[in-house]
Structure 1
Amino acid sequence: MPAFPRSELDEMVRRWLAENRRCEQIGDWRPLADMFTEDATYGWNVGPREDFMAVGREEIRDLALGQEMEGLDGWSYPYQKLIIDDREGEVVGFWKQQSDRTRPDGTAYEVPGIGGSWFRYGGDWMWCWQRDFFDFGNVSTLFMEMMNDGALSEGMLARIEKASSGQRRPGYYRQGETPAPIW
């Protein structure tokens, strides 16, 4: 991967963070797909047997930022730290997953542990790939707590029902069988 000027990567990150905040405010992450190359890939691991992968800008829009963000209205993903490697053209960002809902004791529902995204820059203010990482066990445990507390949105309840149907949803693959490698 060619090197990119640090100033260009800094500006790409600034644009990405601004668009993330805007998408959180409107409750629709799909516009972020415009910040990916047409042939970009976006994936993550979903536990010991399954991976997710969207291939191409439109799958990223429809699956990664549409289908996979359904029910997460009111959630925010504030970046805590960013590491920029201008020699490789890569960025790693560490974020939190926070709901706007609160527990009966007033504390926020937040996924414990570290979540993050690893990006490769493709030039022209677009990423050519993104890989997310998070603790699926912590996410599942928090959603179960929220379900038991009656704190899940209708959208998230509908999403869980779809996921529990036993039918493989678009973008999900057996581990190691994604159309683009996770690594």
Structure 2
Amino acid sequence: MVRRWLEANRRCEERGDWRPLADLYTEDATYGWNVGPGQDFMAVGRQEIRDLALGSEMGGLDGWSYPYQSILIDERRGEVVGFWKQVAAARRPDGSPYEVPGIGGSWFRYGGGLRWCWQRDWFDLGNVTAVFVEMLKAGVLSDGMRRRLERASSGAPVPGYYARTETPVPLW
């Protein structure tokens, strides 16, 4: 399953479209992450995972890669933890890539049939924001990411985002 997941990730990164990864989740899978002290993101079911988590939330991140640095597999519990980096294709004037500092990762639960039934991600939102602001100032932020930032700052509700106590499925 992990080899299958990594290969599918590689193909999706090449295309700049992560939505095909939804086929690697059970029909009733959940996928979420924390967005700050009072907010979480949660997609419930394969279609929301495709549309929200892998569609609108990954929108604008074309050209980004998420190379896994280490993967831990607990075959007894059917759980996998992968640690990854977030690296943009855009380069700084010194030639170095825009990369989110710190540790990002995903925690998966295997649901059988070569599919995940549960995924939770973590990343440092402060570092992500700082890199996006740096890229915006340098004029290298993608149009899709600029649209996402405008959407987030509009104050309008964004599908999949919930107050901590209102998520349809808890993070834990």
The answer to whether the superposition gives a TM-score over 0.5 is yes
Between the aligned partners of 2:102 and 2:165, the Cα distance in structure 1 is 25
Alignment-derived partner of residue 34 in structure 2: 45
Is residue 2:19 matched to residue 1:30? yes
Deviation at 1:138, TM superposition (A): 0.4
Is residue 2:86 matched to residue 1:86? no
State the SS of the aligned residue for 1:69. coil
Unaligned runs of 5+ in 1: 1-11
Regions of 4+ moved over 3 Å:
none
Alignment-derived partner of residue 107 in structure 2: 118
Alignment-derived partner of residue 58 in structure 2: 69
Aligned residues: 172
- Percent of matched pairs sharing the same residue: 72
State the SS of the aligned residue for 1:74. coil
Is residue 2:161 matched to residue 1:145? no
State the SS of the aligned residue for 1:97. strand
| Alignment equivalent of 2:2, drawn from 5, 13, 16 | 13
State the SS of the aligned residue for 2:146. helix
Cα distance per residue 1:70-129 (max 9 Å; x no partner): 100100000000000011100000000000001111111000000000000001000000
CA-based RMSD of the aligned residues comes to: 0.6
Deviation at 1:176, TM superposition (A): 2.7
Deviation at 1:172, TM superposition (A): 0.2
| Alignment equivalent of 1:103, drawn from 81, 92, 117 | 92
State the SS of the aligned residue for 2:102. coil
Amino acid paired to 2:63: G
Between the aligned partners of 1:40 and 1:177, the Cα distance in structure 2 is 18
Cα distance per residue 1:15-55 (max 9 Å; x no partner): 00000000001111000000000000000000111100000
State the SS of the aligned residue for 2:36. coil
Alignment-derived partner of residue 153 in structure 2: 164
How does the TM-score come out when normalised to structure 2? 0.99
Between the aligned partners of 1:72 and 1:135, the Cα distance in structure 2 is 16
